Structures are given as C-alpha cells and as structure tokens.
Chain A
Amino acid sequence: GQQVMQIPQYQHVQEGEDFTTYCNSSTTLSNIQWYKQRPGGHPVFLIQLVKSGEVKKQKRLTFQFGEAKKNSSLHITATQTTDVGTYFCAANTGTASKLTFGTGTRLQVTL
C-alpha cells in the first residue's frame, strides 16, 4: 500500500534556527497536504500543494512539492517556541478520499 515517510523523526532546535522536514512517497501523489499537531492536540491543516514543482509560502513557512510529485518539504525560517509540535505530510492518491499520513517530524524549540 501507499507508504509516506518523513525525516527526521525528531528535531530539537534553538529558537531562531531554521528547520526542515522532508516527506517521501513510494508512489506518485495527486496532491500533498501538510498538517501541524500541537502536543495533546489534533491535526490542523496548513496547506495543500497540487502542481509539480509548486512552492508556497506562509509567513516563515515554505512548502515545496517535488517535480516528480513523490516528495515534499516544509521549511521553517527562524523558528519560534510557538512552532513546537509534530508536522505531518498527508496525501491522497488518485481518487481515494482518505488521507495517508506520513510518519511525522516532531519539532522541539527551546530558548
């Protein structure tokens, strides 16, 4: 079945440092979505990428979708303590309505 892996599994940064998480799929994706889950919370939608090579920005967050539509990345510039949480990529392939979540990257930010 569909496999979506993320690296790293965990990252601890000092506030102000940058952070990147990478998402890789075993198959071509129709789209990729990114969600953030705060500790003890629920997944909250951040963004969706659909086109090959697409790049989108949300303030300090930059999202990319690979040319082959098999990988994606999320980069956070100058992390803040409010960025703490687990970042998941999630994909649906073809016409499937379900989301297949990646393994997640847990981000810890300290002062």
Chain B
Amino acid sequence: EPEVTQTPSHQVTQMGQEVILRCVPISNHLYFYWYRQILGQKVEFLVSFYNNEISEKSEIFDDQFSVERPDGSNFTLKIRSTKLEDSAMYFCASNRGHSNTEAFFGQGTRLTVV
C-alpha cells in the first residue's frame, strides 16, 4: 500500500539553527500539506501546496517557514532560526484531490529545539 514517508523521524537542533524536514508524498497525489502537533495537543494546519505553489497557509506559517518541491518526488519544510516553541511533531500529508478526499499522513518528524 502506498504511503507518505518522512525523514528524519527525529531531529534535535539548537535554537537559532535552520532545519529541513523532508517528505515523499504518494506519487499520484496532487495536494500536499504540512501539519504540526505540539505534544498532547491537536493537529494544526500549517500550509497546503498544489501545482508547485502554496495554495493556503495558516497564521503559524510565517516568514520563518518555507516549503519547496525541489523535484518530482520530495516535498520539504524549512524552518529558519528555530525557536524553542517550534518543538513539535511535524506531519506531512497528501491527497488526490481537493476537499472531500481523505488525507494520508506520514509517520511524522519529531523536532526538538534545545
């Protein structure tokens, strides 16, 4: 069964450093997403990406964040100058269509900022 894959599974970084979280969405999917989940809290939308551009972003997704699809398979989330409060689980997701279709989530990257 096809799945969304994310690397690394866990990343520890020092405050102020840049991190890149990587995702390989399911190959025939068109919409890609990043979500964040702070420990014990709900899943929060960060950004959606379609047709090589951002289609929607949340208030959380400020200038510190950027996304890229550098080639036909990878989808990355870059966080510049990380802060302690960026510590969370970051999930990549993809789906085939727009709304009304299920989202497939990756296993997540646990980011710890120290």
- Rounded to whole Å, the gap between the CB of B35 and the closest CB of chain A is 8
Given contacts A44-B105, A45-B104, A96-B56, contact A104 B99 (CB under 8 A): no
The main secondary structure of chain A at its interface with chain B is loop
Write out the residue numbers on chain B whose beta carbons fall within 8 Å of the beta carbon of A43: 43, 91, 103, 105
Residues A97 and B50 in contact in the complex (CB < 8 Å), given A30-B100, A45-B102, A92-B99: yes
Residues 22-74 of A contacting B (Cβ, < 8 Å): 30-31, 33, 37, 41-45, 48, 50
Q: Give the total of B residues in contact with A, Cβ under 8 Å.
A: 23
For this complex, 22 residue pairs linking A to B, each with C-beta atoms less than 8 Å apart, are: A30-B99, A41-B107, A42-B105, A42-B108, A45-B102, A88-B42, A88-B43, A92-B99, A92-B100, A94-B99, A95-B98, A97-B48, A97-B50, A97-B55, A97-B99, A98-B48, A98-B58, A99-B43, A99-B103, A101-B35, A102-B42, A104-B42
Q: Give min CB distance, A24 to chain B, whole Å.
A: 14
A100 within 8 A of B: yes
Beyond known contacts A30-B100, A37-B43, A50-B100: 8 more, CB 8 A cutoff: A33-B103, A44-B105, A97-B31, A97-B98, A99-B35, A101-B42, A101-B43, A103-B42
Residues of B within 8 A of A (CB): 31, 33, 35, 42-45, 48, 50, 55-56, 58, 91, 98-100, 102-108
**What is the minimal beta-carbon distance from B77 to any residue of chain A, in angstroms?**
15
Which residues from chain A contact B98 at a C-beta distance below 8 Å? Answer: 95, 97
Q: Give Cα A101–Cα B98 distance, bound, in whole angstroms.
A: 17
Chain B residue with minimal CB distance to A103?
A: B42
Q: Are A97 and B42 in contact (CB under 8 A)?
A: no
Closest to B98 in A: A97
- What distance in Å separates the Cβ of B70 from its nearest Cβ neighbour in chain A? 22
Rounded to whole Å, the gap between the CB of B62 and the closest CB of chain A is: 16
